[in-house]
């Protein structure tokens, strides 16, 4: 049976896999499987696959199950589930039997979770719901006819996109004894008590000591994190709640703290720069004595970044470094994004960096088996949806290929014809080479010219690459040449390339977008008079910048955009630090405001002539919807053809990747309809 072009509603058929965790004995990989049911609901459940591809399903239902973690002996799986309405930690024996509830937490949110090496404890982070906003409080108000209460805010950190409003509530670190359900540091049995709560943001990275007697916890030491320069520190916390700081560490960011197998060292990912709150510098790997001292930078001599998010709409972006110790303590396995690829690497204590895998693909690294011979992972590329895989690294023997274990999207791939991206490089200003990809329309027939679309990624400090993009495939199936690139500001091309736009948007990045635009105009299969531009988040910013500075594009779609840096500085969930990433601040001097205004696309909207579709979620806390309201108002008042699609307040900044399926389909159809209207002329 011949394959057919992809449709928007094929999104409903895609099976998403994530969070791969190999069992301690290396015999199987636990993962989260996500599907969309007939009622438009995303369903997540835990499954495992053995080395021969045999599947086992561990959870059922639509309550939401994820975060599965093997106990050290492999006999139990701990996971987080909303099957009882509010999230709790459950345990299920791998020998068979029903899951039972370990925690009875009040309504709230559970974050990270880790077993102690001896299997007696589980440490986790948890934040309680605001008192007046629990389901119980809501029901009582409805019964008595009372209004929803106000949110009372006393701190600048009171909301987070995708997480909502939490006011003064903060995550805290807890440790619960698996056998008894008793919390460490609690004075009486059954008492619900945190082990540690030292962060003003409630954001922690933690790891167990090999002897299971303490935790190493990293978090900000700033009293005013959005005013002071970055200063994360590491603390050692005993099981009675006593904490002491690991002395000698410099200021800067520190995350992913990991105890060495012999307990003598701590590794962490971070940087020593005190003026880079947005991470344009490379995230490096450091090792320090567990008793304190001067850290050793193991990767600073290379230009690799350990925190490179590769974007896709069929997998998690994967922000943050991924790394874990080799069991013999000789170094750490790490995940490295480079030139659109995502590979497994190894960093030795001798500072030697080795890439273990190679190829045009995207690997999502999970964890390591106890003997260090196998790694759980996901694996995919531009024309293959991610599947669960296993890596068997052998250092010094050359590059290895992942072994794919699942084929959950086999039916999808057997039915649908896809466009294969072709990579290219184009020269921009300063002799910079910009990396990009082009996807030709399904059914492409030379020498015909086709309408073309330039996709601009968000971040901006992320990368496009060899990952499956449903949206791109849909546009190629709709008859468009699809071009996507990594202009300056992208990660995966070195520290200087990424930092070239720090506090200076609309300059070198715009040079690179212009270079790509000229490249598009000179391709024999692209009609230069039928080109469109689109992007989300920072990609929406740059789309706004493009239409304010050129008329080369006949249509535009600006999605969850930034338009006014002055207002953006104060209404994002991550407010701008004064003279941090950007110079000045919105409430500063006139000169400081002018600097932000100079980088604001809305300042140039008197030049816009391009018909523009504006898309935004009312629940977006990262880029407030007022950014798009300003764009739409300016377009309408100048008589420019425009349309504003506002998605409801329960959707967030990441709606195109993780929002409700019906609204994601609506968004895709809006984009295709808009581009067809202005680019597909007879």
Q: Residue 277: which of 562, 578, 507, 539 has the closest Cα?
A: 578
Give the DSSP H or E segment for 633.
helix 626-637
User: Which DSSP state fits 150?
Assistant: P
- Take residue 665 and report the two structure tokens written for it: 């389909």
Asked if 653 is an active-site residue, the reply is yes
User: In which region does residue 414 sit, left (phi positive, over 0), alpha (psi from -120 to 50) or beta (all else)?
Assistant: alpha
23, 44, 116, 537: the active-site residue:
537
116, 369, 653, 656: the active-site residue:
653
State the Cα–Cα distance between residues 194 and 581, nearest whole angstrom. 35
Residue 528 near residue 679 (C-beta atoms within 8 A): no
Sequence length of the chain is 682
Name the 3-class secondary structure at 136: helix
Residue 415: exposed, middle, or buried by beta-carbon count in 10 A (0-12, 13-18, 19+)? Answer: middle
Residue 608 near residue 601 (C-beta atoms within 8 A): no
Q: Phi first, then psi: give them for residue 372, nearest 5 degrees.
A: 80, 10
State the Cα–Cα distance between residues 395 and 298, nearest whole angstrom. 17
Bridge partner list, 42: 36
**Alpha helices (H) in 148-305, listed in sequence order:** none
Asked if 470 is an active-site residue, the reply is no
Name the 3-class secondary structure at 470: helix
Q: Residue 84: which of 62, 116, 112 has the closest Cα?
A: 62
State the Cα–Cα distance between residues 96 and 110, nearest whole angstrom. 26
Residue 611: exposed, middle, or buried by beta-carbon count in 10 A (0-12, 13-18, 19+)? Answer: buried
**Alpha helices (H) in 589-625, listed in sequence order:** 590-598
For 61-69, the CB contacts below 8 A with 24+ separation are 62/37, 65/32, 66/19, 66/32, 67/19, 67/32, 67/110, 67/113, 68/19, 68/21, 68/30, 68/31, 68/32, 69/21, 69/30, 69/113, 69/114, 69/115
Residues identified as active-site: 537, 653
């Amino acid at each position: 049976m011949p394959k057919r072009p992809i449709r928007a509603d094929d999104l409903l058929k895609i099976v998403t896999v994530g969070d791969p965790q190999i069992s301690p004995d290396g015999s199987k990989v636990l993962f989260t499987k996500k599907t969309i049911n007939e009622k438009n609901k995303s369903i997540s459940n835990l499954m495992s696959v053995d080395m021969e591809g045999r599947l086992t399903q561990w959870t059922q239902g639509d309550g939401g199950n994820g975060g599965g973690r093997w106990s050290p002996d492999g006999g139990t799986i701990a996971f987080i589930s909303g099957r009882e309405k509010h999230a709790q930690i459950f345990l299920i024996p791998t020998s068979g039997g029903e899951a039972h509830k370990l925690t009875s937490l009040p309504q709230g949110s559970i974050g990270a979770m880790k077993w102690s090496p001896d299997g007696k404890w589980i440490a986790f982070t948890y934040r309680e719901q605001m008192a007046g906003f629990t389901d119980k409080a809501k029901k009582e108000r409805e019964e008595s006819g009372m209004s929803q209460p106000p949110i009372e805010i006393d701190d600048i950190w009171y909301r987070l996109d995708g997480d909502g409003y939490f006011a003064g509530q903060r995550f805290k670190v807890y440790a619960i004894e698996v056998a008894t359900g008793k919390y460490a540091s609690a004075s009486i049995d059954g008492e619900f008590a945190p082990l540690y709560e030292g962060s003003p943001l409630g954001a922690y990275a933690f790891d167990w000591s090999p002897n299971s007697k303490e935790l190493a916890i990293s978090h900000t030491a700033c009293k005013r994190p959005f005013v002071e320069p970055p200063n994360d520190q590491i603390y050692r916390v005993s099981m009675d709640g006593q904490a002491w700081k690991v002395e000698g560490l410099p200021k800067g960011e520190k995350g992913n703290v990991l105890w060495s197998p012999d307990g003598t060292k701590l590794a962490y990912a971070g940087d020593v720069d005190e003026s880079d709150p947005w991470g344009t510098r490379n995230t490096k790997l450091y090792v320090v004595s567990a008793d304190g001292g001067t850290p050793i930078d193991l990767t600073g001599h290379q230009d690799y970044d350990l925190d490179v998010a590769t974007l896709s709409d069929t997998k998690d972006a994967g922000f943050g470094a991924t790394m874990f110790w080799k069991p013999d303590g000789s170094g750490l396995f790490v995940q490295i994004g480079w030139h659109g690829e995502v590979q497994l690497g190894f960093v030795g204590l001798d500072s030697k960096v080795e890439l273990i895998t190679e190829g045009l693909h995207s690997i999502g690294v999970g964890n390591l088996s106890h003997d260090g011979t196998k790694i759980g992972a996901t694996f995919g590329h531009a024309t293959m949806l991610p599947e669960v895989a296993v890596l068997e690294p052998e250092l010094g023997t050359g590059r290895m290929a992942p072994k794919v274990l699942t084929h959950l999207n086999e039916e999808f791939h057997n039915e649908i014809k896809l466009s294969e991206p072709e990579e290219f490089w184009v020269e921009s200003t300063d002799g910079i080479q910009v990396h990009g990809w082009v996807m030709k329309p399904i059914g492409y027939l030379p020498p015909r010219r086709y309408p073309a679309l330039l996709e601009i990624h968000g971040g901006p400090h992320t990368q496009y690459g060899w990952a499956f993009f449903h949206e791109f495939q849909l546009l190629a199936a709709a008859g468009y040449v699809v071009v996507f690139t990594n202009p300056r500001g992208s990660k995966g091309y070195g520290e200087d390339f990424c930092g070239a736009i720090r506090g200076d948007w609309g300059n070198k990045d715009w040079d690179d977008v212009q270079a790509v635009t000229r490249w598009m105009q000179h391709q024999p299969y692209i009609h230069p008079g039928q080109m469109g531009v689109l992007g989300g988040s920072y990609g929406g910013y740059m789309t706004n910048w493009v239409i304010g500075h050129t008329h080369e594009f006949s249509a535009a779609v600006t999605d969850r955009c930034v338009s006014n840096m002055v207002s953006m500085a104060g209404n994002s969930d991550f407010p701008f630090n004064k003279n941090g990433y950007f110079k000045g601040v919105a409430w500063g001097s006139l000169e400081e405001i002018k600097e932000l205004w100079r980088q604001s696309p809305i300042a140039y909207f008197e030049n816009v002539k391009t018909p523009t579709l504006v898309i935004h979620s009312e629940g977006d806390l990262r880029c407030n919807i007022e950014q798009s309201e300003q764009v739409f108002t300016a377009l309408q008042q100048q008589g420019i053809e425009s349309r504003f699609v506002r998605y409801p307040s329960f959707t967030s900044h990441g709606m195109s990747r993780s929002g409700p399926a019906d609204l994601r389909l609506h968004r895709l159809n809006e984009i295709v309809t808009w581009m067809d209207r202005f680019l597909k002329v007879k």
